[in-house]
Amino acid sequence: MKVLDSSRPAGREGAVEKPLPWVVRAAHREPLAATPVWFMRQAGRSLPEYRAIRERYDILAICQSSELCLEVTLQPVRRLGVDAAVLFADIMLPVMFGLGVGVRLVENVGPVVDVPIREAADLRRLRALPAEEAVPFVLETIRLLRRALEPERAVIGFAGAPFTLAGYLIEGRPSRDFLITKGLMRGSPDLWRGLMDRLTAMAIDYLRAQAGAGADIVQLFDSWVGCLSPHDYQAHVYPYTERIFDALRADGIPAIHFGTGTAGILPAMVAAGGDVIGLDWRVDLVQTWEQVIGPMRGVQGNLDPAVLLSPFAVVEQEARRILDGVNHRPGHIFNLGHGVLPETPVEHLQRLVELVHGT
């Protein structure tokens, strides 16, 4: 992939700054000669080399070993040629090791919380360890990643957003409708505020620590926030999400704001913050960029992950539809509308990267 003006302007005394990774430059809406591309869940079950490691180690063991985690995170960069390495981790790690919540990462289920948070006593038992103490293995992996990658490839850190984490903690496991969470949110406002304050402070600390360790850009995953009405989002979630992005902006940390099923709340999500707004496949990227997001934000997305299970001619058609619509507008980061599916043919991902870079 070639870029325009590959180096940054000269600084004081004529020193030339290191070039920023292409994903970061896209987040700054700089003109590039080709569109940068990475995939959510690119490190994982679609790669045979990852499956070979999983035959010997579970997810938590991989995350806690910086060497193993480095290898798993780098596998898709080597195999696919993407422009970023996204940290292989689970959004519950800081909850488990920082807040001290008992969580089991159950295969084909997701996070299962031993004692869900339902009352004030549950909130009082939470710890508040800083990321450097709670998850030093995550930060060491990021340091190793930044040293291993070329300067033009980004290291992407991430955290779960307060609502999505609260949903797991209150429900006790993944949910389709989050009925218990919504009930607590509306019926126990003091408990809700206390939990969201804890999760917000944790996310800010965790993302700052990742940036300090070498992450070039971070993504806030609000995977399940699309279950909320616009009013509930504005009243019960927006203030905490805004607090996170305000803190990141104050520190100069580029950030992506992503959720799924969010068409009804996108205006409020845009207002909450993020240099880049991640879109799922349920909305038209170009129309949403023009009418909802506006020219001062970048956009990430938004090919339907299921398209990659089709013949590649279909993949190419759908990808070109997005790329032609954007027409090289600065600020676009190509991605899927959610994570790579385990059944995805690796060669489709490889060819898609080549297509995006060549268009």
List active site positions: 41, 45, 54, 90, 168
Q: How far apart are CA 334 and CA 127, in angstroms?
A: 38
Q: In terms of residues, how long is the chain?
A: 359
Q: How far apart are CA 274 and CA 355, in angstroms?
A: 27
Angle at 219 between CA 218 and CA 220, to 5 degrees: 125
Q: How far apart are CA 289 and CA 293, in angstroms?
A: 5
Tokens for 129?
């360890």
What 3-state class would DSSP assign to 173?
Answer: coil
DSSP state of 4: S
What 3-state class would DSSP assign to 217?
Answer: strand
Q: Which residues contact 124 (CB under 8 A, 6 or more apart)?
A: none
- Phi, psi for residue 49 in degrees, rounded to 5: -70, -30
Q: Which residues contact 264 (CB under 8 A, 6 or more apart)?
A: 226, 229, 230
